[in-house]
Structure 1
Amino acid sequence: MTEVLFYITEQAGTGVRDALAWRIAEKAWRQGRQIYVHCQDETHAGELDQQFWAQPASGFLPHALLGESPAPVVLGFGDDPGGHHDVLINLAAAVPDFVTRFERAAEMITGDPQQREGGRERFRFYRERGFPLKTHNL
């Protein structure tokens, strides 16, 4: 069954969740994992693609949009993550239907009240369905 990791930070503000996703993706990539970052929509995927090229200035994260060239980190949206099944980083508001295809799923919860409430709803979703859960307070 998919192991779900919740990364919780008190930081709030625009971009905190996306920056945390970069950190988690970078760590998983260095461990040799294949990562699918599930974005809210096409616009978000495009914005995140640009951010991943720009930050941090001292780092590099090999990534591509779903359907482009193969990469260890893929950014996508919608109902089909392609052939990915290793690590899912969910940046969408809801748990994607395909979550059980992955070995691990990561959820980021920030200090923003709306993000925190959405995170609580996703936590309840996973807990009610018996997913193994771990939390990491950052």
Structure 2
Amino acid sequence: MNISFYVLSESKAQDFLGFICQLTQTALNKSSQSVLILVEDETLLSTLDEALWAQEATSFIPHQRLLGAHTEGVDPDITDTHTTLAPVLLGSHMPADFRGIILNTTVQPVTSVMAAATNAQPTRVLELIKPDPNSVQEGRHKYKVYQQLGYELTHFKV
């Protein structure tokens, strides 16, 4: 699995929602895979949900919000996320059998979330690191965890 760390500049961190929308659109444009945006903060989740709906018609990002262990309006036992769900999922957990790209905004490495998701096999993880001391420390922890697991690591300053 490839893990990409995006180290945000002050200006990108100030427009955190805009950067998430931009990165999500880029991931969708470059891949045919679903994107799961992991968010543990309910306020950020609601704000991001609104921001994705508010994109311009030419860059609208269709998405679906995950609720608890179930997906809104979808049988939770369905395993093919590529044909059943929206191309972008928002939530605090990973659906079982998820295969795709994860944009992680949580403080934990994705491997912590994967333990609860039966048969989940993400292909790529995008980690966002804000320029504040807490986010940098969390990013270092995640980097060490992924490094110990032998994942391919890259980083970008944006």
Q: Which has the higher mean CA deviation after the structures are superposed, 25-34 or 42-51?
A: 42-51
Structure 2 vs 1, CA of residues 13 and 20 (structure 1 numbering), >3 Å: closer, same or farther? closer
In the alignment, the residues of structure 2 paired with residue 19 and residue 128 of structure 1 have an alpha-carbon distance, to the nearest angstrom, of 32
1:4-53 deviation line (CA, Å, top 9, x unaligned): 01111222687544332222111111122210111114443222211222
1:27 equivalent in alignment to 2:26: yes
In the alignment, the residues of structure 1 paired with residue 16 and residue 138 of structure 2 have an alpha-carbon distance, to the nearest angstrom, of 12
In the alignment, the residues of structure 2 paired with residue 108 and residue 91 of structure 1 have an alpha-carbon distance, to the nearest angstrom, of 6
Map residues 1-138 of structure 1 onto 2, 5 A cutoff.
2-11=1-10, 16-31=15-30, 32-55=32-55, 59-66=59-66, 67-68=71-72, 70-78=85-93, 80-96=94-110, 97=112, 98=114, 101-138=121-158
Identity %: 25
In the alignment, the residues of structure 1 paired with residue 140 and residue 57 of structure 2 have an alpha-carbon distance, to the nearest angstrom, of 33
Secondary structure of residue in 2 paired with 1:84: coil
Partner of 2:77: none
Does the Cα contact within 8 Å between 1:20 and 1:108 map onto a contact in 2? no
Does the Cα contact within 8 Å between 1:12 and 1:110 map onto a contact in 2? no
Structure 2 vs 1, CA of residues 87 and 8 (structure 1 numbering), >3 Å: closer, same or farther? same
In the alignment, the residues of structure 2 paired with residue 25 and residue 101 of structure 1 have an alpha-carbon distance, to the nearest angstrom, of 19
Structure 2 vs 1, CA of residues 124 and 90 (structure 1 numbering), >3 Å: closer, same or farther? same
Listed as ranges, the gaps of 5+ residues in structure 2 are: 74-84
- The normalised TM-score by structure 1 is 0.82
- The normalised TM-score by structure 2 is 0.73
In the alignment, the residues of structure 2 paired with residue 131 and residue 71 of structure 1 have an alpha-carbon distance, to the nearest angstrom, of 28
Structure 2 vs 1, CA of residues 90 and 24 (structure 1 numbering), >3 Å: closer, same or farther? same
Count of aligned pairs between the two proteins: 136
TM-superposed CA distance for 1:85, in Å, is 1.2
CA RMSD in angstroms comes to: 2.4
Q: Partner amino acid for 2:62?
A: P
1:36-88 deviation line (CA, Å, top 9, x unaligned): 1111144432222112223468631111102136210110113x424421101
